Structure 1
Amino acid sequence: MSSPSQGRNIILAIGVGSQKDRDSRPYREPLLAAAAERFPVWLFDSYEPTWQEQYTVGSTVVDCQSPEALITEANRLSASYTIVGVLCPDEGSLEAAARVTDALGALGLSADSARNCRDKKLSRALLTAEGIAQPGFTTARTWQEALSAAERFGFPVVLKPRTLGASQGVVLVREPSEMEQAFEASSRAGYPGVEVPDDYMVEEYLSGPEVSIDGVVFEGEYIPLFVAHKKVGPEPFFTEVGHVVTADDPLVSNETIRSMLEKAHGALGISHGATHSEIKLTPNGPVIVEINGRPGGDLLPYVCRLATGVDACLAAVDVVTGRAPTVRRTLSRTMGIRFYAPTEPSLVREVRIADRSDFPGVVEAAPLAAPGAELFCPPEDTVARYGYAIVEGASPGECTERLELVEGLVTLDHVPLKAAT
């Protein structure tokens, strides 16, 4: 820990860094830059900072999955600084960081609300009790129990761990013969720092397109910022491979959805913070899939800013530091992002970017994996990517078409992992 300066206001950022084996900079940098725009930033991370240093006034290496260690260091820091807010975008550190928020008496996601968001069984029960439409659900500890539940609900069903995110362990089961293998895949999933209970969710399958809505909550009021229309990879997994964001998307101002989300955030106990809500637009109306107590991943805040001019990261900083967020749409564009994932377990040699002029509408393309990185496929890993491309279209339809045409823009030179050793 470097020497603090007595009495200064700072934001405490927790887990805004890299996992040991994966660079998080493309996903985390916009949030850290937004925090630094408002206040000096002190970073707690499990590893020594690298790229984060340009945005911080100091840092502490601490186990970000240990609430006790984090609280000890936060109390030490608060003896010299005034901590005006706590930010944490990392799934593995989210509940521990919420304990710090409680200990400091700060605004933001509380330990109870973090648990309510993370535990899907608890979320479903709380939302159902408030009369918010939910799929039929139960939990099972064996594939035989899951099969019995699926036969009661009717196939298809969805299996998922109670406490994971990013579609980890989420498996579609269309018929009884698939259940044993699907349950095994779901029960193998994990994420550093996240405890996974041994009873797994069995849910009715919701038909219809899926969208995500990023928003913020300030003094109990839910404010939607942008909507992203998802594209998912092949069944039986639900890996997110792309999104389309439109500045004038009517779902942003849809009163039914906004009212439902405000009620849901209240049921989960969220009074201040940024959230990422996933919603199925079913034939019977919108249904909440889940509400995550953090900003959206997948570079979504960046794509939102390109499409709308709205800085969702700055809004996230504002609501946990006591400032009402200002949401101004200064752009009116339709932007889409497509992620490139390996088709087999791969040791990366090189990620190549072709000439963008050969692909209509491309505004940006970049690698997400360095030479030497090891990438795996679902169900082992649902977020392994080696690159991305962002395109602009005159409409959501054109944007979607252009995303389908960029498949050759980013290519992976690799060695299959089974041959690499």
Structure 2
Amino acid sequence: MNTSSDVLLAIGSGLRLYREYLVKSVAARARSRGLKPVLLNNIEPTWQQEYFDEIVVANVFDHEILRDRARRIAARHHVVGLVCWDEPLVQPAAEMADELGVPGLTSVGVRGCRDKNRARQVLTAAGLVQPRFELTRSLDQARAAAERIGYPVVVKPQALGASMGVVRADDRAELDTAFRTATSASTIGDEPFRDTAIVEEYAVGPEISIDAAVYKGEYLPMYLARKRTGLQPYFEEVGHIVDAADPLLGDAALLDTVARAHRELGVENGITHTEVKPTARGPLIIEVNGRLGGDLIPFLGKIATGIDPGEVLVDVATGHRPSTAPTRSAAVGIRFGYPERDCIVRSVTVPQHAPGLVTAAVMVEPGVELRLPPGGYIARHSFVVCEADDAPRCAELLEAASASVELIGDPIDPLAAGATFTLPAGLLDAAE
């Protein structure tokens, strides 16, 4: 092996709008540790060129190709660490980290995160608070499971992120529709998990998420976000607020539960995004994701706490215990703009100035179709980010800034029943 250069290998850059702030920090941290950042990516580089010393382009969504190209990079360089924050790629990335002998979540740990059914089984067996659940492969199985569990239930794909295909059902008629929605959404995921749906007990309580580093099994929380969902009975994530002073960060029962869940799932090194509901029975783990949070949550966390998730990610990936001590205290939130109904976008305008406004952005180009669930997901046309001294004030500022976003679009009919949905252009890792 040619060890003339030590490198940090990143698999997948993600979209510029969602991940450039992270790529910038990762590249700078790698170089500060004497490493050359190398990217294995799905598309020809544009903005990524500024941050990486070498970029290899290949179809990374074909996992055999991904492994082949990663091995070729390892044959030319000494790979010291490997990082990945793109949900469809975390499993093969973990397998490559294992093969290369560098710190990572481990393939077993990531499989526990990706496969929601396996995670439920492991955490239930460990005695952690979990909803009653069943993995189903047919509508009849789903109906029987819902009757045994008791309504309301949540029906979800076995292995997707961003709440895609997740639906609440309050009775049998809604269960039938929810099962078809979940299994339809599953077709865009990994093949082993297609055409299945988990039916589980609906847990009452607010939903939160915690991004944390895991270093040699030690769980190190960085920041906590409170999620806002909408478009019921679906669970579209329409906003988040990260408060550096959130009292839940000092809740020993919550943090002990999440740390134990990581140990049970076999997560050893890396960064995770854990979704939790504080319930009357105690903290209930909704899911553990083997990556940083999406929806710009790490960006919010960085502003709110001063903790740089890119630096933490590189530290853990290269075998260094990271610092997760906050250096500032603020409340920072994001609110996404959704259309009132399915439409073709003509124009979107966002505020340039508003009280507490950190940034605002248009997320789609004219001509893009935005479809709400179940015909589509993540149908966002814009976002606003605001900062305040505390969470209630931050929520007020987000509400005011969101009210000044303007969408002009032409209404379109919903997709026909059974039609395959697609995500809006601009949310896929495609050439600009």
Q: Deviations over 1:198-225 (max 9, x none)?
A: 3310100000111000001001101000
Residue number in structure 1 paired with 2:104? 108
1:25 and 2:21 correspond: no
State whether structure 2 residue 386 is matched by structure 1 residue 391.
Answer: yes
Identical amino acids, percent of aligned pairs: 41
CA contact (8 A) 1:64 1:96 kept: no
Specify the alignment match of 2:238 in structure 1.
241
Displacement after TM superposition at 1:418 (Å): 5.4
Aligned to 1:217: 214
SS in 1 for 2:365: coil
Match of 1:48 among 44, 50, 68: 44
User: 1:286 — aligned with what?
Assistant: 283
- Are the aligned partners of 1:65 and 1:193 in contact in 2 as well (CA < 8 Å)? no
How far off is 1:16 after superposition? 1.3
Of stretches 330-339 and 410-419 in structure 1, the one that deviates more from structure 2 is: 410-419
How far off its partner does 1:311 sit?
Answer: 0.9
Alignment check: 8 A CA contact 2:220 2:324 kept: no
CA-based RMSD = 1.9
CA distance 1:379–1:409, shift in 2 (3 Å) = same
Moved more, 100-109 or 50-59: 100-109
Deviation at 1:12, TM superposition (A): 0.8
Match in the other structure for 2:74: 78
Deviations along 1:41-94, one digit per CA (max 9) or x if unpaired, are 111111111111111011111121233222221221122211111111111112
Give the gaps of 5 or more residues in structure 2. 31-35, 415-432
Change (3 A) 1:418 1:158: closer
Contact 2:187–2:194, Cα closer than 8 Å, also in 1: no
Contact (CA 8 Å) 2:187, 2:195: kept in 1 or not?
no
- Structure 1 gaps of 5+ residues are 18-23
Counterpart in the other structure of 1:188? 184
Verify the 8 A CA contact 2:159 2:189 in the aligned structure 1.
no
Cα distance in 2, alignment partners of residues 417 and 60 from structure 1: 40
Q: Distance in 1 between matches of 2:208 and 2:189?
A: 27
The one-letter code of the counterpart of 1:136 is R
The answer (yes or no) to whether the contact 1:365–1:387 under 8 Å persists in 2 is yes
Does residue 375 (structure 1) correspond to residue 366 (structure 2)? The answer is no
Q: Deviation at 1:247?
A: 0.8
Structure 2 CA distance for aligned equivalents of residues 123 and 353 of structure 1: 40
Structure-1 separation of matches of 2:352 and 2:100: 51
In structure 1, C-alpha distance between the alignment counterparts of 2:161 and 2:225, rounded to whole Å: 17
> What does 1:154-233 align with in structure 2 at a 5 Å threshold?
154-190=150-186, 192=188, 194-195=190-191, 196-233=193-230
Name the TM-score, length of structure 1 as normaliser: 0.92
